[in-house]
Amino acid sequence: MVTRSSDHRASVGGRLVRATAYSLAGLRAAFRHEQAFRLEVLILAFVIPAGLWLGKTGVQRALLIGSWCMVIVVELLNSAIEILVERLWPEQNALAGRAKDICSAAVFSSILLSIAVWLLVLVTP
- The residues annotated with a catalytic role in the active site are 75
Q: Rounded distance, CA 47 to CA 98, Å?
A: 31
Question: Which residues have C-beta within 8 Å of that of residue 54, sequence separation ≥ 6?
Answer: 60, 64, 121, 122
Q: Rounded distance, CA 79 to CA 25, Å?
A: 14
Identity of the amino acid at 105: A
HSE (side-chain half, CA atoms, 13 Å) at 38: 7
